Structure 1
Amino acid sequence: MHDVGQGLGAYHQTSEQSPQQLVEQHAPLVKKIALHLQARLPDSVQLDDLIQAGMIGLLEAAGKFESGKGASFETYAGIRIRGAIVDEIRRGDWVPRSVHRNARRISQAIKTIEDRTGRAAQDSEVAEELDMTPSEYSACLADANSGRLFSLDELNDSGDVPIDMETASDDPYRELSSDSFRRQLATEIEALPEREKLVLSLYYQEELNLREIGAVIGVGESRVSQIHSQAAMRLRARLVDW
């Protein structure tokens, strides 16, 4: 999986650029990340609010960037931009607590089934484990997807898989150095069911939106959203020790 800034070579900079030049050159990166995150948020979330929060992250990145640390500016800025937007979303508290509880229940059910069977849990098995009908389980997946910010960098107790900016905002390079976690994460992603793995690849590496992914794999946007949610919760279940 690529970091936020990978594949964004158009935003390349030299170490001689001033903070103002960095901000001017990388401003399109803010909108790109904001649009990508907005696709996974409730309709009530305004793009302008996300862009405004992201610009604050870009300004902070430009002021604090040290080229000698080894990370490119676009990678560093991508982390700061995404983190600033995540902070803004968390302050908004748009996702009900019941959604987080259901996400945790689904993750636990997946872990229980996979520990018992030694293979990937099927949708029908998870629904049965939770004493839900298939339609109820699909609805829970759809709800759990609302507001999910999935960066594949580290897990938290909400049931999501986001960047934890309480640590990353103070030292973004720490996140880049978490090699052991990334190796384990890559291993678990590789072991996902093929369709889940494909959806993650198309969303995070190819940066396609849900509609475009649906066209590739032949399903609707809502089903893509459900597949993404299940992949997120499956990874959370498998990485619970982290």
Structure 2
Amino acid sequence: MDNEERDNLVVQNLPLVGYLVSEICMRASHLSRPDLTQVGAVALIHCAESFDESLGVPFGAYARRRIKGAFADELRREDWATRGARTRMSEHSVMAETLSAKLGRVPSTVELAAALGVDRATVEAARVDASRTVTPLTDVIADMVAAAAPNPEDTVVESEHAAFLAAAVAALPEKMRYIVEQVYYGDRSVKELAEELGSSHSAVSQQRSEAMRLLRDGIERHYLATADANSVPHARVAPSRRDAYLSELGARTLGGATRALGAVTRLQGQAWEPAIS
């Protein structure tokens, strides 16, 4: 099978990825649909590359099994929660649905806690856990390119992605920047950072999530040019704080129109050791 046939096979079967992602997200609402879609698309490409029609197995059936296997591998690899935490989240979800059907409205935290026989803090912790996701840093701008081997254009684009991302991280507020650098560049856990910073696990996790939303706003405004001052923001920080970040990022990247690759490369080479109070 040549590259054109492979690409056609992938395009024709992309709806299968969307269907399988929807199927799994219906059973587990805490999962990230974009992340699973990317994993499924990669698995579909691998299926098209290795498919042998002479075996008599329909491509759809073959791809379905491989995509589901890729989902399982990704969930095992990325899952931060223990079995006990997953059990608590499941119990919380079932009880919330039961009470909603009985009361005709969303139950309060106190009502959920009473029904589960636990305190209010336990219910709130379960809600935080259920809403928590971990997003690979480069996923916010990386596009999938189906190609047999890297070419000079791909290399330039990848370098530009990395350079802009380095500038976007460097422009973050100090504490957010430190957390992002340590988690994604230093391979440190949120638990370790919480202990170091004298903060709670959930507080550090929320800082990281807010940093990711700021990064997305910055990338859409200054790199992808898909957003402007009137666009609905992803970040939940105060508007003045978000505007200050976007202004700083625009200054570091010359507004996104011309990438200051030399300056950003120097930033990448610097030792990041900010003092966090």
Common topology (TM > 0.5): no
Q: Select the structure of larger CA radius of gyration.
A: 2
Looking at secondary structure, tell me which structure has more helix per residue. Answer: 2
- What TM-score comes out, normalization by structure 1 length? 0.34
- What TM-score comes out, normalization by structure 2 length? 0.30
Larger RCO: 1 or 2 (CA < 8 Å, sep 6+): 1
